[in-house]
Structure 1
């Protein structure tokens, strides 16, 4: 009985202890947290943050390796040392494009400063030859094809406005030597990303400021000649991570680490003020000051990262060299939280994230449980609920302060910070790609996450302009206060409990159902040595390592990590394991320092290339090894890689989430050796299906042809075979120097026209006709002739308009009509040959009936006669590439079948004899085979003895067959048909066409800009093409699908944004009875004039509905903020 009481008492005590632990876990942090948070709110000074940002943005460029980068490093070190921090510098290796010299030289010798743009494919610098490029200067404005009309582009230096999108490709494919971008003051992140391609095309691009551009425009008007010189080297430099520690007052072995990056990126690396990118590091320095003045209980570690834009090189090196070594792995120092700061200015609200697009570390659903010790403080028991000495919670204090700063209302903690560390929709409400410096640390099993501005867009990022005066410092201030409150809590909250053994830095282990830590990937860059039969090392090759995105690319350019192999061809890098990161891909390159050309590339050939080595790694252990095969090469560049069926790229990348595709269809490039008609032993290419260009890498001296397959691999949609009217099958291209196919669309069209013309003429000479081919060929020839005339007259826009149509016609004729005839001919010929072989043997028995040698000779003679008749009568044998080979193949097929029959027969006999020997005679069987063997020869003998009857029977059979084939043959052809596709209820004052494929959706749910150009080419001057652009938020089941539109002290949630052309806008205003149309008495001319004035002065205008305007409390002429842009309310439409 006493034992029972003792046991019950023990159970009660244990239950009480568990209850106490649960209550303590859910209890509010000690009241001191409130006072510390209150101190933080009062201590953080936005003036200090602004001063830091101003200094960083004044350094010219903080791209790794540039003077501003080192100045920023020294500034941070000095600042932290002055605060009393113990500062150390962690060095690592990274690769950066270093501009050595870049200028434009005028005719009279004056040199003007210019700056090179970011390397194409990250590996092809924007270089010129040693002597530079000389040419006539032409100005083309926005670089649309019509802007080139009347100008001699071949060999010219093109002057183009910076806000021209990707139109520099127009200059490249028309034969320009280089393009000079002129600063215009109008820029955004899209302009920056459009100024380089992830395909390593060799084309020089430089940038000059607006004042210099004005001078060059004057010179272009005078047809002046200039020289462009650019020297950029991809150098391996030493990068620096700055580590500063401030010892805590009591919990000295427990660390709260806070990080931000101090480098920057610009598409013009030598000009990167990047004020927006300096917000994070400036906020970090202000927080460092606060903790220095209010020393917390836990140790504070400040980390200023760099190498961010080279695949998070700095953070990766920090994880490898610092975190995964003592004292952090031994427990002498325990990281309780590693908090990154990567904020912007577009929103006062914060989002807490752990995953990004850098290494795409995506854990399982258990990630939330893994981060539960910190999540508890953010969601269930935020430090914002802590009480201050005034009786108010920190939330109330912060809400009052934030409302005073921004003029907005803050009613809940969710208005300040949201916890987005979940596996589903891990990107939260981020509508653009981003990378977190805490990603590599989270992968190393550290409690690492980052503060990021909710809905951050970084609209002005990546450009060579100073965006300091675009920053909304009110939003920055509120975010800094929110971060300070939470960090003050984490640094002083004694109830924060972390099971360090479970969350210590780990090299490679399996936890919580997923793998964490790093695989050390070692590799070798090598070339095959034909003499030794094995690979030889290639020293100092430039290696790219990247997480697989769509179609063998990373999708996001900055996910690529660049490094150099050593003097033995070896390299090593840390990558993530399977299940937690994607497959890791790799390639290697050699760039000639003098010419700037790629002279060695990754071998993708069938014998010694990536076809027989590892194409990627998905590590399941802590180490792995790869060989990257390389070969000496010459680059061949092609443009206008569009699927002619729809005139679009076969894939379209989602710019919001670059690991997904909006459109995903087949698009495969192939290279052939012209002489062998087979895949070369050594070759390579870079082709991303969402980009309209490709670069092939071919062995010197090879004669090559190039094909592109779309939709299926049956027949190519584009071919480059170097045809002529005399040799319609082409000569191939001898690759002995770098080739850039200018006017590639013209070359595609010419080659396909000649191919179709030559092959169809061969068919028609044999009386094989097809109306579709004749109509399509005639139409394509007419369009091609027109395009040739336009090109001679330098009317490039009209020429491309004709070429698009011609290529669409001739490509479809080739794939849909011509080549199926050739395929059918080959199949028919093969069938006839297979039938003819036994027929020849039977005919010899029937008509000649010799034995021995005479029988063999007679059979050969009959076979020759039969095949001669077939060759004359059936066109298949004359259009086939190799009739003799086909005959031999058919004969071999027949002999193999005969061999199998004999083998099976003899095998059956052996089995039967064995069974009889063992079991005796035990079954009854017929003699069908014997009957067959007797019936065939007997039938032939009977036919020989009854010649008249046999002849009449054969004659009747032949007559019926001839009648059936001659009088009932048919062929299909294609024609454009017009039909009604339903009705549209709205009145149409003018005829309208809605372009669709299928009911309810555009073609494959996406409309490509080049498809719009094709439609414009077809419509010409007979109508107006008015495409619409819908812009949707990134997909998120958790958070909904809305954009925030900010007005006067209020906001409105929009589910999408619609972009319209001027023609549609004016029509919509009149038909809806808009506010502006009403004010102008529905005068269409005035509306068009006003629209033109507004769009010429500024494109930042928006049209709202009356309901939206009322919610936002705005009227005509007021300003609203959408996607980080301030837009003027141009018009208001009635909501109904």
Structure 2
């Protein structure tokens, strides 16, 4: 990968450089005769917090590290440059995925302004519909938060609506009333809940744009004066190359490997604006550990891995496991993930997220609740015992600190909570998620799926309210909470790199393609598939090339999860595609799409009809892969279609949505009703031969049928309570 010159940082931070290079020039001491628990203090003191701050500042200055965007590739170049300074070898592992890439968005404000201003497209609705709207001219109305009072007297039909960003999901109201597009104004403050509510869980093709606050004021003025505007937005799904960057520092035991990892990409509801400074802290710590281990050479070889594809169903770490970990001849002992923020100085040790928590790692018991299989939990017992013992022996009085740094404890162990062996027992409050209060993803989990000893060090009570937004949260970072976490991470990494022995047989924890344990099964299956269309002339299926394929890794019908629930691929010219990392004996759902180049509308969708999935009748193909061995295959039937969008699909008896998630725990709903949206041919009252139906808990549904089909639609908000549809 070509390395380009990186962006210079403003002069106020030059002092950071001076501090950093002064520390680098210090002569390295030899600690070979000092016990490891004393030696680690010197290693921790080697960590330069000023360099961590500098790297965080730089990475957040790139506007967006969203996978596939310019800032992402500049961040990758910077990491390669830094690794080349300290590592013995640097490897850039490439993989293919699909991402919605913004091609350019702008708004022209007519006379007397005559201004062309920059706008930014939002993430596709449902993780599918990337909008295209070219040179559309119309009236613009400012409706504040979009409440009913704000909309009074506004002619919404075919108009362009200007709204405050902090307006919940009220944009769906203006979309349902006929608006052509919505433009959100940059707020001074916002949170991830507001950000995620700016998208729908269904593939609704409705253009949504974002402008900065200064542009927003100009547009407000234009709206007040009745000046027409012209908007242009174009976002398209493209096959892109993602990078996992590996810096290797060779140890005395060069074939024994410890992996230290984090992700360096980011995500925002506005993909072109994703500075995510606090998220970059983990990457900055990884870079600093590279420098420290280059001076304090480890006993075991260190792989420092900077992943991408974190927010895309963990596709980057999954591809790493498939192509690097499972193909390595080295002995990989453990993987330590870094995922910190600054809410607290304490950390959770986690090995499971909601992604795999309901897979083969769990067993049902007669009471109807679930518990962790003891055999699985015992695999991590030695990690807990040895790390606990090591941390308890570290004398932190010798650690460098300022008065402002956290001083509420006298040992590192009191800042740690292990969550390897706690199961659910009558309450969701005691589970594998420890103190985590919202949905999260672990980059180490794909490694766990191949039976490796992998875990992530994550900040306790990590709400991370300023993440996933287009605003830069650098000023919100509480560095006095970051530093104690850095101590713990440095100490744990140092221990695994240098402990004389773990007292564990490596063959029992070695990564495996398929592993059948007592009461649980793990593995890494390969899915081969093809996108096809039924051909009535031949009576069989012909390939559909270059389709967008999604594989669900988590239940996507959740307003706090829907953008991150999928991995994406693009089928080749023969309609073929491959996914890796399917855990056996677990169902994996897929769908497939193609789009109109001029409008962004769905042009091809998955076929649930008679020649497709044949839902409601016997036979048919399946879009559910259920691997039992190392390989599984699937044929995804598609058909050419036109979409129909429905709004306000709610339970009219109670005037509420059919599902409402609880934002507090990471895997919980307040309630969820078994609702059903169906489509029928009006004349025969039977299901169409070709159709597709989907709807989300936000009340938006999309039905795809053949062009020219006359249809009737029914909606039943609770099929257990109502024998007939309510609508």
Please, what TM-score do these two structures have when normalized by structure 1?
0.57
Distance 1:471 1:126 in 2: 34
Pick the aligned partner of 1:609 from 613, 617, 620.
613
Q: How does 1:76-87 map to 2 (within 5 A)?
A: 76-87=79-90
Contact 2:348 2:418 in 1 (8 A): yes
State the Cα distance separating 1:65 from its structure 2 match: 1.3
Q: 1:345-385: CA deviations, max 9, x gaps?
A: 11100111111134546623322221233222223x2x123
State the Cα distance separating 1:670 from its structure 2 match: 1.0
Q: SS at 2:104's partner residue?
A: strand
Pick the aligned partner of 1:525 from 508, 528, 531.
531
Q: SS at 1:186's partner residue?
A: coil
State the Cα distance separating 1:659 from its structure 2 match: 4.7
Q: SS at 1:181's partner residue?
A: strand
Counterpart of 2:106? Answer: 103
Q: 1:783-804: CA deviations, max 9, x gaps?
A: xxxxxxxxxxxxxxxxxxxxxx
Q: How does 1:589-738 map to 2 (within 5 A)?
A: 589-611=593-615, 612-657=620-665, 659-688=667-696, 690-712=697-719, 713-718=722-727
1:419 aligns with 2:421: no
Contact 1:62 1:69 in 2 (8 A): yes
Counterpart of 2:368? Answer: none
Distance 2:422 2:595 in 1: 41
Structure number with greater CO (CA < 8 Å, separation at least 6) is 2
State the Cα distance separating 1:571 from its structure 2 match: 1.1
Structure 1 window deviating more from structure 2 (201-210 vs 664-673): it is: 664-673
* Residue ranges of structure 1 left out of the alignment (5+ in a row): 1-28, 328-332, 387-392, 719-1136
State the Cα distance separating 1:555 from its structure 2 match: 5.2
Q: SS at 2:139's partner residue?
A: strand
| Structure 1 pair 618–411 and aligned structure 2 pair: CA distance change class (3 A) | farther
Counterpart of 2:475? Answer: 469
State the Cα distance separating 1:549 from its structure 2 match: 2.8
Q: How does 1:280-679 map to 2 (within 5 A)?
A: 280-327=282-329, 333-360=330-357, 363=361, 364-379=373-388, 381=389, 383-386=390-393, 393-395=394-396, 397=398, 404-410=403-409, 413-422=412-421, 424=423, 425-547=431-553, 549=555, 556-578=562-584, 582-611=586-615, 612-657=620-665, 659-679=667-687
Distance 2:413 2:213 in 1: 44
1:228 aligns with 2:231: yes
Q: 1:508-543: CA deviations, max 9, x gaps?
A: 221343212211111111111111111111111111
| Structure 1 pair 351–397 and aligned structure 2 pair: CA distance change class (3 A) | farther
Q: SS at 2:277's partner residue?
A: coil
Distance 2:43 2:227 in 1: 61
Structure 1 window deviating more from structure 2 (640-649 vs 552-561): it is: 552-561
Distance 1:44 1:551 in 2: 43
Q: SS at 1:73's partner residue?
A: helix
Distance 2:559 2:625 in 1: 14
Contact 2:192 2:467 in 1 (8 A): yes
Contact 1:85 1:245 in 2 (8 A): yes
Contact 1:349 1:479 in 2 (8 A): yes
Q: 1:95-139: CA deviations, max 9, x gaps?
A: 1111111000111453100000000111101321x3x32210100
Counterpart of 1:874? Answer: none
Larger proportion of helix: 1
Q: SS at 2:45's partner residue?
A: helix
State the Cα distance separating 1:551 from its structure 2 match: 7.1
Contact 1:683 1:696 in 2 (8 A): yes
Q: SS at 2:178's partner residue?
A: coil
Larger proportion of strand: 2
| Structure 1 pair 553–509 and aligned structure 2 pair: CA distance change class (3 A) | farther
| Structure 1 pair 362–339 and aligned structure 2 pair: CA distance change class (3 A) | farther
Q: 1:990-1018: CA deviations, max 9, x gaps?
A: xxxxxxxxxxxxxxxxxxxxxxxxxxxxx
Contact 1:673 1:702 in 2 (8 A): yes
Distance 2:666 2:386 in 1: 32
Contact 2:440 2:666 in 1 (8 A): no
Q: Between Structure 1 and Structure 2, whose CA radius of gyration is higher?
A: 1
State the Cα distance separating 1:35 from its structure 2 match: 2.4
Pick the aligned partner of 1:218 from 205, 211, 221.
221
State the Cα distance separating 1:153 from its structure 2 match: 1.1
Task: Please tell me the root mean square deviation across aligned C-alpha atoms, in Å.
Answer: 2.1
Contact 2:695 2:702 in 1 (8 A): yes
Counterpart of 1:262? Answer: 264
Contact 1:521 1:624 in 2 (8 A): yes
Counterpart of 1:113? Answer: 118
State the Cα distance separating 1:578 from its structure 2 match: 4.0
* Residue ranges of structure 2 left out of the alignment (5+ in a row): 1-31, 362-372, 424-430
Contact 1:549 1:659 in 2 (8 A): no
Q: 1:885-941: CA deviations, max 9, x gaps?
A: xxxxxxxxxxxxxxxxxxxxxxxxxxxxxxxxxxxxxxxxxxxxxxxxxxxxxxxxx
Contact 1:554 1:560 in 2 (8 A): no
| Structure 1 pair 546–657 and aligned structure 2 pair: CA distance change class (3 A) | farther
1:137 aligns with 2:137: no
1:126 aligns with 2:135: no
State the Cα distance separating 1:498 from its structure 2 match: 3.2
Counterpart of 1:55? Answer: 58
Contact 1:609 1:630 in 2 (8 A): no
State the Cα distance separating 1:682 from its structure 2 match: 1.1
Q: How does 1:1009-1020 map to 2 (within 5 A)?
A: none
Q: SS at 2:236's partner residue?
A: strand
Contact 1:517 1:576 in 2 (8 A): yes
Distance 2:279 2:718 in 1: 42
Counterpart of 1:1096? Answer: none
Q: SS at 1:267's partner residue?
A: coil
